[in-house]
Amino acid sequence: MHRTPLAADQLRRSLIESPELSFFTHIDVVESTGSTNADLITRAGDPDVDRLVLLAEAQEQGRGRHARTWVSPPRAQISMSVLVRLRGIAPEALGWLPLLTGVAVVDALRATAGVAANLKWPNDVLVDGRKVAGILAEVAASNGETVVVVGMGVNVSLTEAELPVPHATSLVLAGAESVDRTAIVQSMLTEFARRFTLWREAGWHTADLAAAYRERCATLGAQVRAELPGGQTLTGIATDVDEAGRLLVGNRPLSAADVTHLRAEY
């Protein structure tokens, strides 16, 4: 299958030509790497590095939650990480960065790919109940500042045989109106920059961000099963997210759990 490469020059020009994307300082595109998150984490110690974007046409050691790894065919996904410095943020608010990223990815996929994307707490993007994208944020402290690398992986042209797990999907399989990876990357970065800027200007307060997240989260109101650390499970209705971005199942806040939507495809 022929898969078109990312238009690296176009992406770099967009930093100058697009007012929204001027938020970012640089976009690097590499043919292959182990992990885009790991590559940017190694640069977090440089105080001059901020709002840096790294994309890879192929990842050999892509990382997800709980250290899960995956390998994708070259140019079949969007594998992207962004390094940002969150000056003056309270530690308890940090959990909102991956949720903000999820909102940005959902809005970009709806607008640019034309799919009915929504969120599954905490960091999955679904189409028709199947996972099309995942998000992983990792903290790297640098010179007393809070530095976070947030990774985004979107399945674009994967076939059924190439999917990493049976409950996944890709934009092609979901019947997307567009699978132009360069356009989708630009849309994702635009939405991320807009949401991040509003959050920062609000002094890292989360009222508006939380409202946007709730509107897009399919987990809320669903009967779920949560697999907790230590092998415990909890079943109940997911009622809300709290001020720290934790999922409330009944009245119990969950900060780390694998959540399954019951009576659903995923």
Residues 182-202: tens digit of each pLDDT: 999 999 999 999 999 999 999
CA dist 64 and 67 (Å) reads 6
CA dist 125 and 135 (Å) reads 8
Contact 25, 50 (CB under 8 A): yes
CA 58 to chain centre: 17
Confidence band, pLDDT 50/70/90 cuts, at residue 72 = confident
CA dist 48 and 76 (Å) reads 32
Residue 265 pLDDT: 47
Confidence band, pLDDT 50/70/90 cuts, at residue 40 = very high
Kindly report the length of the chain.
266
Residue 125 tokens read as 């993007």
Helices 181-201, 207-216: crossing angle, 10 deg rounding? 140
Residue 145 pLDDT: 87
Which are the contacts of 2, defined by CB distance < 8 A and separation ≥ 6? none
**Backbone phi, then psi, for 234, in 5-degree steps?**
-135, 130
Residues 201-235: tens digit of each pLDDT: 999 999 999 999 999 999 999 999 999 888 889 99
pTM of the model: 0.94
Residue 1 pLDDT: 73
CA dist 168 and 144 (Å) reads 39
Residue 70 pLDDT: 58
Give how far Cα 33 sits from Cα of 6, 36, 61, Å: 15, 7, 8
Asked whether residue 181 carries a pLDDT value surpassing 80, the answer given is yes
Q: Which three-class secondary structure string do you get for 15-36?
A: HHHCCHHHHCCEEEEECCECCH
Which are the contacts of 28, defined by CB distance < 8 A and separation ≥ 6? 52, 53, 54, 55
Asked whether residue 66 carries a pLDDT value surpassing 50, the answer given is no
Residues 226-259: tens digit of each pLDDT: 998 888 899 999 999 999 999 999 889 998 788 9
Strand partners, 146: 141
* H helix or E strand, kind and range, residue 239: strand 233-241
Q: Are strands 52-56 and 117-120 parallel, antiparallel or unpaired?
A: unpaired
Average pLDDT over residues 117-143: 92
CA dist 54 and 41 (Å) reads 11
Contact 107, 100 (CB under 8 A): no
Residue 64 pLDDT: 54
Write down the residue that tokens 């990792």 correspond to: 138
Average pLDDT, the chain: 93
| Beta-carbon-side half-sphere exposure of residue 140 (alpha carbons within 13 Å) | 22
Terminal-to-terminal C-alpha distance of the chain: 28
CA 258 to chain centre: 16
Average pLDDT over residues 150-157: 98
